[in-house]
Amino acid sequence: MRYVVFDLETQNTFADVGSNDPKDLSISVGCAYDSLTDTYTTVTIDELHLLWPVLEKADVLVGYNSDHFDIPLLNKYYPGDLTHIKSIDILSAIKMSLGRRLRLDSVAQATIGAKKSGNGLMAITWWREGDIASIKKYCTQDVKVTKEIFEYALEHKKVFFKDGVKKREILLDTSDWVPPENHSMTFSLPF
C-alpha cells in the first residue's frame, strides 16, 4: 500500500475570514510524505502544484483532521477531486472510538513520545512575518509525527493519549485502512 501523509498550514484564521468553512482559508504551506519513495515534499502556496503527482499516486491519503479540514481546503486548489482517493483521518478514528476529539500533540506525546514543534497560530504569525522556513519546518514535523502515529496505529490497532497525568489507551478499528491488494483506483487526474 502506498500511503501519503499530509498536512497544511494556513495564512489566516477562521476569525480572519468570518467563517468556519476551511475552504474560506488560504494555504501558506503544505507537506506530503510518500511511503513508496520515503520522501517529504514541503511547498509554499506558489509551489502547491508539486504535490499533485504525489497525492495522485497514493492508494491512501492519511492525515489528522484531514477529512474535515485539510481535504476540503486543498480541494479548493486541486484541479481534480481528492475525495476520490481513499482517506484515513486519524482524528475521526479516535473520535469514533473515544467519543471526543483530541489534539495531535496529546496523542503524539503519549503514543510515540514526540511533541509538535509549534501550533497553527504560530504558523500564521510566521506567515505574516515572512518566516516561510519556520512554517515549512513546523509543517514537515507535523507530517512526521502523524506518519509515526499512523504506522503505530496500523501495527498495534491503538494509540494513547494523556488524560491529566494518566496515559490512556484508545482502541482503533483499522480493518479498512489497508486496501485489498487487487483494488483498482480511479484517479481524478492522469499522472
Q: Is residue 52 part of a domain?
A: yes
- Give the model confidence (pLDDT) of 8-42 as tens digits: 999 999 999 999 999 999 999 999 999 999 999 99
pLDDT of residue 114: 84
Domain count along the chain: 1
| % pLDDT > 70, the chain | 92
pLDDT of residue 185: 52
**Among 160, 159, 147, 154, which Cα is nearest to 175's?**
154
**Range in 49-58, 71-80, 180-189 with the lowest mean pLDDT:** 180-189
- Give the model confidence (pLDDT) of 104-115 as tens digits: 999 999 999 987
pLDDT of residue 48: 97
Structure pTM?
0.91
pLDDT of residue 188: 54
Report which of residues 165 and 69 the model is more confident about: 69
Q: What is the mean pLDDT of residues 1-11?
A: 97
Q: Is residue 150 part of a domain?
A: yes
Q: What is the mean pLDDT of the chain?
A: 92
Q: Is residue 29 part of a domain?
A: yes
Q: Is residue 186 part of a domain?
A: no
Residue 191: pLDDT over 50: no
Q: Is residue 177 part of a domain?
A: no
Q: Distance between CA 22 and CA 76 in Å, rounded?
A: 9
- Write out the residue range of the structural domain in which residue 27 sits: 3-97+118-156
CATH number of the domain within which 149 lies: 3.30.420.10
Residue 51: pLDDT over 80: yes
Q: Is residue 165 part of a domain?
A: no
Q: What is the mean pLDDT of residues 95-119?
A: 89
Q: Is residue 143 part of a domain?
A: yes
Q: Is residue 109 part of a domain?
A: no
What string of DSSP letters covers the chain?
Answer: --EEEEEEEESS-HHHHT-S-GGGS-EEEEEEEETTTTEEEEEEGGGGGGGHHHHHT-SEEEESSIIIIIHHHHHTT-SS-GGGSEEEEHHHHHHHHHSS---HHHHHHHHHS---S--HHHHHHHHHHT-HHHHHHHHHHHHHHHHHHHHHHHHHSEEEEEETTEEEEEE---TTTSPPTT-----SS--
